[in-house]
Chains A and B, each alone.
Chain A
Amino acid sequence: MSVNSPDTTERPGAIDARPVPHPWRWVALAVILILVAMMISSFLTNERWGFSTALQIMNQTPVLEGLWKGTIVGTIGAMAIGVVGGVIIAIMRLSTNPVLRGVSFVYTWFFRGIPRLVLLAMIGSGIGFLYSELNFGVPFGQQLASLMGLSSDFTFFTLDVNQFSSTLLAGIIGLGLSEAAYMAEIARAGIISVDKGQNEAAQALGMSRGQAMRRIVLPQAMRVIVPPTGNETIAMVKDTSLLSAIPVITELFYQTRAIGTRTLQIMPSFVAVTAWYLLVGSVLMVGQYYLERRFGRGFTGKAPKDKRFARPAGMGGA
């Protein structure tokens, strides 16, 4: 070894080495810049893009109403049903009770198996055909009442299905039920990812299964659940366009396209609707960042809100 070492008696100092050259990065950058320049030039010269018209379409009252009711309220509602339902179904799936496990499996199998478009069309038109009204009361109450000749038929509340089935709420419930099946798998993966020792430690302290799940396991599972849920939420923003199958027409894409067809501004209307979807998606990504930070507590190595122990007291006068 000593043969290879230089003759100098001086000890080596700070390293000042040339970086590895990356010529292809520069080539790629040049290609991309040219493409971007071509695109911008097209935006500026091809008047058919119609950006100013698109901006006008974006601000039309029916479009804004469709954005608010169909897209935003629809996404929030469907995801609320989906997340709560999904967690419940995931817990059922992991239960020791075989009945609950079976119900959860069949639910996931059914709602994950049918396309949302078909599900919504069916809710919109099919259910009302089968059951024109839903009676809430004692099971088989009507049959019992006619059998015993009673005047009351044990019905407490009646829902007119044909009226209800074409509302936004029906669409939200449909999307939410479908989403719950996907969220169940995500929640199950999150719950399984939490170390078994956490549950044991909670139970050894005398917590019930429910307490251990709520206080210890789920908060840690959230770290795994949040990123794919962000994905699901952004997918749901886009899937609210399926609400027109119910048909619910206070919906972003339906309204934008209607304006485009009516005014023969097809492409500008597509630009308008694309811009709205991208905007909503961007806002959601910011929200996801903060949620991930919240549930990453204790895992990131740095303290989230409290700066006190950034420098532990025991470290002394550092």
Chain B
Amino acid sequence: MTDTTAGELSRTRGDVPLVRALNVSKSFHGNEVLKGIDLDVHRGEVVCLLGPSGSGKTTFLRCINQLESIDGGRIWVDGDLVGYREVKGHLHHLNDKEIATQRRDIGMVFQRFNLFPHKTALENVIEAPLIVRGVARKEAQERGRRLLAQVGLADKPDAYPGQLSGGQQQRVAIARALAMDPKLMLFDEPTSALDPELVGEVLRVMRELADAGMTMIVVTHEMGFARDVADQVVFMDGGVVVEEGKPTEVLGNPQHERTRSFLRRMRSEHDTSLADDAARAAGTDADAPV
């Protein structure tokens, strides 16, 4: 019911965001890591979350598909309140099954891939469609092979994750998330655990996904990707959104000192790793950082 109304609303008005976060707060053992985050992500948009480590961007991403619970504020995905049901002005926790149902439509890609090591690449991709959606095995396998081809791994369906490079594993992980036909994809520093020369192949897959119209929220340190692909860049620091806007504004003409010093640090790191960038540029065309 809520799904259709939200869908119709978006079609008629076009301005209802796919993800809306209002005043989201979260503490770990008294340490406040999110201090009132507001964010709207519209359908088809790519939003990049930037910021120093410890700024809360990964925690915020994990709150969207309930790998962390929030202490305050609200998050809606496609019109549905995340994690709770509101009855007569009172919030009720959703049970495990309802939470699992909400997560089905949200794909997540992890920094450390988290592929299932006891399953082959193809088995990783078809696992959730088989178990969660109840798709027939043959159909799931055909779809799985197409998805592996889409991420450039048509020749690796029978390889175990341990036999693949980091970049290949991360591409399998993207295919695995896509197999559930998500309406939203979350990327948690998808290239941070990769060797520099493998970053390009993963960013290229993500770029193609963005071009195909997927709604994406990406926590990343890849300034080049943020500049070229993002519709909106959000700079977080100390649990708050410091600055947000078009990449040209936030990256090209930052208004806040904290943003400027962060970008300066990223650039100096960039200067000391020119060799890495050369390797990356050789692998791709335009993914080199700013």
Contacts and interface: CB of A to CB of B under 8 A. Distances in A.
Interface of A: 195, 197-198, 200-209, 211, 215-216, 219-220, 223, 295, 297-299, 301, 303, 306, 308-309, 312-314
Contacts of B65: 204
Given A207-B100, A215-B127, A195 B155 contact: no
A198 B116 contact: yes
Instruction: List 6 tightest A-B contacts by C-beta distance, closest first.
Output: A206-B104, A201-B114, A205-B128, A298-B160, A204-B108, A197-B114
Contacts of A299: 117-118, 162
A298 B117 contact: yes
A300 to B, nearest CB: 8
Contact of B116 (A209, A216, A306): A216
B183 interface: no
A71 B83 CA distance: 53
Contacts of A219: 118
B180 interface: yes
27 contacts: A200-B110, A201-B108, A202-B116, A203-B67, A204-B103, A204-B177, A205-B127, A205-B128, A205-B132, A205-B176, A205-B177, A206-B101, A206-B103, A206-B128, A206-B132, A208-B96, A215-B127, A216-B127, A298-B120, A299-B117, A299-B118, A308-B158, A309-B159, A312-B155, A312-B156, A312-B163, A313-B155
Nearest to A310: B163
A41 B150 CA distance: 72
B144 interface: no
A297 B117 CA distance: 8
Given A197-B112, A198-B114, 6 more contacts: A202-B116, A204-B110, A205-B177, A207-B131, A297-B118, A303-B163
Nearest to A302: B163
Interface in B111-164: 112, 114-120, 127-128, 131-132, 155-156, 158-163
Interface of B: 65, 67, 96-97, 100-101, 103-108, 110, 112, 114-120, 127-128, 131-132, 155-156, 158-163, 173, 176-177, 180
Contacts of B180: 205-206
Given A215-B127, A298-B161, A208 B114 contact: no
Contact of A220 (B105, B117, B158): B117
Given A298-B117, A299-B117, A205 B103 contact: yes
Contacts of A309: 156, 158-159, 163
Contacts of B106: 204
Given A201-B114, A220-B118, A306 B128 contact: no
Nearest to A195: B114
Contacts of B158: 303, 306, 308-309
Given A200-B110, A206-B104, A220-B118, A215 B131 contact: yes
Nearest to B130: A215
Given A200-B110, A205-B103, A209-B96, A298 B118 contact: yes
A295 B118 CA distance: 8
B156 A314 contact: yes
Interface-central residue, B104, B117, B180, by most chain A CB under 10 Å? B117
Given A220-B117, A301-B163, A208 B97 contact: yes
A314 B157 CA distance: 12
Contacts of A297: 118, 160
Contact of A200 (B101, B114, B177): B114
A283 B161 CA distance: 33
A298 B119 CA distance: 7
Nearest to A220: B118
B156 A204 contact: no
B62 to A, nearest CB: 8
Nearest to A211: B131
Nearest to B161: A298
A303 B163 CA distance: 9
A119 B118 CA distance: 39
B116 A201 contact: yes
Contact of B100 (A206, A223, A312): A206
